[in-house]
Amino acid sequence: MAVDALDTRILRLLIEQPRTSVREYARILGVARGTLQARLDRLERDGVITGTGPTLSPAALGHPVLAFVHLEVTQGHLDEVGDALAALPEIIEAFSTTGGGDLLTRVVARDNGHLEDVIQRLIQLPGVVRTRTDVALRERVAHRVLPLVESVGRAAGGQTG
């Protein structure tokens, strides 16, 4: 999907001022409210905008420990293990991967002892052969998409459509 200069400006506003009204976004951008709404609808329909809810902090919810757990899975059991992972609240993301493991999970825990308990539950899942855990020490780059949006917008040549 092509993202042009106006889309880039809209997405920047959505990221930087998420609680602003559509009317106010239109005023800031100098476009008609209908134009803005049509752009937002298209960006949602095309899957560029995937949510509008708040971003939550696991640390503020009492789970400051973050780890990445790689799981090696018995062939043919990837879907079953994925379903089992979805049932564990400490697993906040899971991805099928290539390389040394079959699944990469993002795990949060209250403390290191709780993390060990979660890992033990993972090891006991039918189909899990082995795990490898990397504990995050400090976030160096927070989850972000705006630099990518701006890069894509520049690559599109700043065209509006």
Query: Which residues have CB under 8 Å from 37's CB, separation 6+?
Result: 22
The pLDDT tens digits of the residues spanning 19-73 come to 999 999 999 999 999 999 999 999 999 999 998 888 899 999 999 999 999 999 9
Query: Global pTM?
Result: 0.84
Q: Hey, how many other C-beta atoms are within 10 angstroms of the C-beta on 138?
A: 5
